[in-house]
Copies of this chain bind each other. A is one copy, B any other.
Amino acid sequence: MISRFTDATAEEINKVMDRSWQAFHVYRKFPLKKRADFMSAIAREMEASADELVHKAMSETNLPEPRLRNEFNRTLFQLRSYGAACEAGDWLEARIDTAIPDRNPPRPDIRKMLVPLGPVVVFGASNFPFAYSTAGGDTACAFAAGCPVVVKAHPAHPQTSEGVARAILKATEKSQMPEGIFGHIHGSGTATGRLLVTHSNTKAVGFTGSFSGGKALFDWANQRKEPIPVFAEMGSINPVFFLPGKLKESAIETAKAYASSITLSSGQFCTNPGLIIGIEGPELQDFITALGNEIKHIVPATMLHPGIAQSFQNNRSAALAQEGVVTVSVSETLPKENQGIPTLASASASAFLNNPLLHQEVFGPYSIVIRCKNKQEMREVATHLEGQLTTTLMATAKDIREHEELVEALKNICGRFILNGVPTGVEVCLSMQHGGPFPATTDSRFTSVGADGIKRFARPLAFQNWPDELLPEELKNANPLQIWRTINNELTKKGIL
């Protein structure tokens, strides 16, 4: 079986992308319901192999079974709920302006809806072997949009990826989908990724991973003769601003919640709170002490793969060695091989502001508390942060009134703004925004979680002056699919008489 996981050759990639292109012209014409049924069929096939897939993922990622079961079910939920959203059709943004023949000049009949972009290349994520990999969120969104998918399996969990790919292929057969609707490619280096992204049949890219990986894809995609969109979710440090009133009110119980959020799944979440900002004083000191005490008792866990464990060790050491950085607390349990040791550090705001290295993500069970002299310095930290997936505000109503400028500044740097909670835990629902200003993602106008993510892989097409019988079902007078449409500026499910 090893031979299967050798890097795909350029010839193999050409073949896969050609089949994908052919499948596109078949699949994009399928009714929404058929797309949704196909996605349900994938969920069913995966469910039938649940134990096998979860066990494969356990052995390849070191993630514990409950965490993987949870993620597995989330993946099925994504396939089913994005399929339902696909069929409901709100995402199509159907707009109709009917003709006004007696106007001078006459107004033609124009009807617009979203249509699929073409084959989408998806790069599996190391930290989500199911939910953001082979049949994960990007794949589900692309299928819903009407696009074929070619997945590059993450080299750290190729067996899991193969297993999921087999489930997709079974569903493809049973649902009588065109053969090329799904392709699965292995590749351990950057060459495979580059060939996939620069292939002329590739029309969009989905990626979840590191900044360097995502940025490379983005650059290749933009340097093509025909540039294509890249949706790269590249993680962030997810700053948490603790305001004085809130600290006073609940420093101790908050410390418990944060110790857990920082070290959950060995800190291997892109919404891990890597930066905590507070104003110096006895309350902040109490909080740091309490958080440090919690961190001490967290037992180290094995990280996703040796490469990530090594990176964590290097980045953690580099951060702790910076001028002004104090190690507050580490786990009392010695880490075994490839385990990440839970760590809390602290630094002054001026040390942070003067050192770009401290603004970078340390992917793993690590967080640093930034001590500001006052409100002004806290605002300075806020305005010097880069784009983030999430920002969290820990504050009382009074705190918020007293820090209005800070609150406004924070809205401007993130995709999700949490009040009095933890950033980990990304709900799969329509209101979710998982995406934020660069460098959190390459396109802050879209989300990679929730059914709005379907729109990443579609573009509007307007039909002008087409008779009813030649229009797509979505735009016909009678509204046979019963979708929401904006007709002459009015949102309605009514048909046109």
> A residues engaging B (CB < 8 A)?
25, 29, 88, 90, 93, 95-97, 105, 107-108, 110-112, 115, 117-118, 218-219, 222, 226-227, 229, 386-387, 397, 400, 408, 411-412, 414-421, 425, 427, 429-433, 435, 437-439, 442-447, 452, 455, 458-467, 469-470, 484, 486, 489, 491
Contacts and interface: CB of A to CB of B under 8 A. Distances in A.
A432 B110 contact: yes
A431 B421 CA distance: 41
Contact of A29 (B219, B408, B459, B491): B408
A486 B415 CA distance: 19
A146 to B, nearest CB: 11
B421 A110 contact: no
A427 B108 contact: yes
A471 B315 CA distance: 38
Contact of A227 (B105, B442, B486): B442
Contacts of A96: 431
A93 B429 contact: no
Copies of the polypeptide in the assembly = 2
Contacts of A459: 415, 435, 437, 444-445
B90 A415 contact: no
A462 B434 CA distance: 9
A405 to B, nearest CB: 9
Nearest to A390: B464
Contacts of A416: 110, 461-464
A416 to B, nearest CB: 4
Nearest to A456: B445
A469 B432 CA distance: 21
Contact of A438 (B227, B411, B414, B438): B227
Contacts of A437: 226, 459
Contacts of A95: 430-431, 452
B460 A447 contact: yes
Given A226-B439, A431-B96, A461 B90 contact: no
A192 to B, nearest CB: 23
Ranked nearest first, the 10 interchain pairs of A and B with the lowest CB-CB distance are A433-B462, A95-B431, A110-B431, A418-B464, A444-B459, A416-B462, A97-B431, A97-B429, A112-B431, A433-B460
Most buried by B among A118, A461, A466: A461
Nearest to A418: B464
A462 B415 contact: yes
A59 to B, nearest CB: 27
Contacts of A118: 412
Contact of A419 (B93, B112, B466): B466
A108 B470 CA distance: 45
Contact of A105 (B112, B425, B443, B461): B425
Contacts of A117: 444
A437 B226 CA distance: 9
A425 B103 CA distance: 14
A218 B219 CA distance: 12
Contact of A229 (B105, B110, B445, B470): B445
Nearest to A433: B462
Nearest to A416: B462
29 contacts: A25-B408, A25-B412, A95-B431, A96-B431, A97-B427, A110-B416, A111-B431, A112-B432, A115-B411, A117-B444, A218-B222, A219-B222, A226-B439, A397-B469, A400-B470, A411-B461, A415-B462, A416-B462, A416-B463, A417-B463, A419-B464, A419-B466, A419-B470, A421-B464, A430-B489, A431-B486, A433-B461, A445-B455, A491-B491
